[in-house]
């Protein structure tokens, strides 16, 4: 009898497990929707369920403020999304959306909209109605243009449009005067609109991996900028107005075609990181010595033949990369940089017996430079002493000759 009871119990458990395992993504979503309805939930998580469509019951939850349906298999959002009028946060990233419904513009309480990693070719102009939006992420799509109406999102603070196919940014972007973060890397931008100078609250501007040939002078108005990243473009020069970015901490311009760095860069006295490697620089301006807070300086893979001695004034410098240039020597003043922990001068044309490249070699190279500086100072001191001796001897000889001449005149008299 006991064996029969165990068998029945096992069959029931197995049957229940099989039923659970057979639940479809849609059924799981319905269960969560029903639970949210019963509990009066304001947040609902339906991400990573493999959903091809959203259950109609979802749109009856008009109390929802946060909805996450990311990383499913959705190809569209139904117009009924407009019924969720209290939504403040909507995540639909990682799906297969080709477009957003115009009705999305009626979700006027939205403060965050994340639709990255889809297949969007355009944004509806109605997106401009989301005037409460503070964060918009449309990165990793197939956008070729941003609608002019994006300029109506005047409360926006963060805009992510990287990994698209944008060739321009609309001039209306200048109306986003509360924007503090703009990430537009990995596009096909050839220029930045002059109106970007109106984004005076901007702290981070990231426009790497584009086709920019220049930066507009108006960039100098971004006086709150702390990070400017323009890696892997086609920049040949920098506007002198870049020196007005006096709050800048990080400036990354590697992998461009720069042939000169303006002297005004020396005005960036808060700068801690400067990356200029893999350009076409033949020299650095002596004003670089004014960057008193600089910690990292990377200038490798250029065409530098010399380094200004003023680099020895960078007392906070910890890392200096100069490899793969055309340097015939380096200034001995580098030996004065007591905070320097790493230096690499390999693959140049100097005859210095040490090249740095790791901690031990860096210390050895710094000792070598200090010893050379000490020897040079000693030689200068000896040379000065010799000159002083010669001058003293000349003065003594002149004095003796003057006295002798005076005596002869007295005798003649």
Give the DSSP letter string of 233-298. S------GGGGG-TT--EEE--SS------GGGGG-TT--EEE--SS--S---GGGGG-TT--EEE
Confidence at residue 355, expressed as pLDDT on a 0 to 100 scale: 53
Instruction: Please state, in angstroms and rounded to a whole number, the distance separating the CA atoms of residues 326 and 346.
Output: 10
Q: Residue 337 is encoded by which pair of tokens?
A: 């940089």
> Are 124 and 146 a contacting pair, CB within 8 Å?
no
Burial (0-12, 13-18, 19+ Cβ within 10 Å), 8: exposed
Closest CA to 274 of 310, 303, 311, 249: 249
Nearest to 345 by CA among 358, 273, 282, 375: 358
Look at residue 318 in the predicted model and tell me its pLDDT.
96
Helices (H) and strands (E) in the chain, counts: 3, 14
Local structure of residue 71 (DSSP, 8 states): S
User: 3-state class of 13 per DSSP?
Assistant: helix
Which CATH fold topology does 24-188 show?
3.80.10
Half-sphere exposure of 283 (CA within 13 A, CB side): 8
Beta-bridged to residue 298, according to DSSP, are: 275, 321
Q: Determine the straight-line distance between the first and last CA of the chain, rounded to whole angstroms.
A: 157
Q: State the pairing for strand pair 112-114/342-344.
A: unpaired
The distance from CA 242 to its chain's CA centroid, rounded to whole angstroms, is 16
CA dihedral defined by 345, 245, 231, 152, rounded to 10 degrees?
170
Sign of CA dihedral 266, 268, 272, 276: negative
| 223, 245 contact by CB (below 8 A) | yes
In a 10 Å sphere around its CB, with 0-12 CB exposed, 13-18 middle and 19+ buried, how is residue 16 labelled? exposed
Fold entry, domain 267-280+287-397 = 3.80.10
Beta strand segments in 310-388, E: 319-321, 342-344
Displacement of CA 21 from its chain's centroid (Å): 46
Quote the pLDDT of residue 111: 98
What integer pLDDT is reported at residue 408 of this predicted model?
Answer: 63
Residues of the chain with CATH 3.80.10.10: 24-188, 267-280+287-397
CB 130 within 8 A of CB 149: no
Q: Look up residue 209 and give its DSSP letter.
A: S
**β partners of residue 275:** 252, 298
Nearest by Cα to 277 from 237, 321, 234, 310: 321
Tens digit of pLDDT for each residue in 262-271? 999 999 999 9
Alpha-carbon gap, residue 232 to 213, rounded angstroms = 11
In this prediction the pTM is: 0.84
Which residues of the chain are modeled with pLDDT < 50?
1-2, 4-20, 359
Q: Is 390 left (phi over 0), alpha (psi -120 to 50) or beta?
A: alpha
């Amino acid at each position: 009898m006991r064996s029969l009871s165990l068998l029945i119990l096992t069959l029931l458990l197995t049957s229940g497990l099989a039923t659970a395992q057979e639940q479809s993504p849609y059924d799981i979503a319905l269960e969560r929707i029903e639970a949210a309805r019963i509990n009066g939930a304001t947040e609902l998580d339906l991400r990573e369920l493999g959903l091809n469509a959203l259950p109609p019951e979802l749109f009856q939850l008009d109390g929802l403020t946060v909805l996450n349906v990311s990383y499913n298999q959705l190809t569209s959002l139904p117009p009924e999304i407009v019924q969720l009028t209290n939504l403040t946060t909507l995540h639909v990233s990682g799906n297969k959306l080709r477009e957003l419904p115009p009705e999305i513009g009626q979700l006027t309480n939205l403060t965050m909209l994340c639709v990255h990693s889809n297949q969007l070719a355009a944004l509806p102009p109605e997106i401009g109605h989301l005037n409460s939006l503070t964060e918009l992420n449309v990165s990793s799509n197939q956008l070729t243009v941003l609608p002019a109406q994006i300029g109506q999102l005047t409360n926006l603070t963060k805009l992510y449009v990287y990994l698209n196919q944008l060739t321009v940014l609309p001039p209306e972007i200048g109306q986003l005067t509360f924007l503090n973060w703009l990430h537009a890397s990995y596009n096909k931008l050839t220029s930045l609109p002059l109106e970007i100078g109106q984004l005076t609250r901007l702290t981070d501007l990231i426009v790497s991996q584009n086709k920019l040939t220049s930066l507009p002078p108006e960039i100098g108005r971004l006086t709150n900028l702390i990070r400017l990243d323009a890696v892997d473009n086609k920049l040949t020069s920098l506007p002198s107005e870049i020196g007005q970015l006096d709050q800048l901490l990080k400036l990354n311009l590697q992998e461009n075609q720069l042939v000169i760095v303006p002297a005004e860069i020396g005005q960036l006295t808060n700068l801690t990181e400067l990356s200029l490697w893999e350009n076409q620089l033949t020299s650095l301006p002596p004003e670089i010595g004014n960057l008193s807070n600089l910690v990292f300086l990377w200038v490798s893979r250029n065409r530098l033949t010399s380094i200004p001695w003023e680099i020895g004034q960078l007392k906070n410098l910890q890392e200096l990369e100069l490899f793969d240039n055309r340097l015939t020597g380096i200034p001995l003043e580098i030996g004065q940089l007591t905070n320097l922990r790493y230096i690499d001068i390999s693959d140049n044309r100097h005859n210095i017996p040490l090249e740095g490249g790791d901690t031990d070699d860096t210390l050895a190279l710094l000792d070598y430079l200090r010893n050379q500086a000490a020897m040079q100072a000693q030689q200068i001191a000896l040379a000065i002493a010799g000159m002083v001796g010669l001058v003293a001897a000349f003065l003594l000889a002149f004095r003796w000759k003057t006295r002798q001449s005076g005596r002869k005149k007295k005798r003649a008299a």
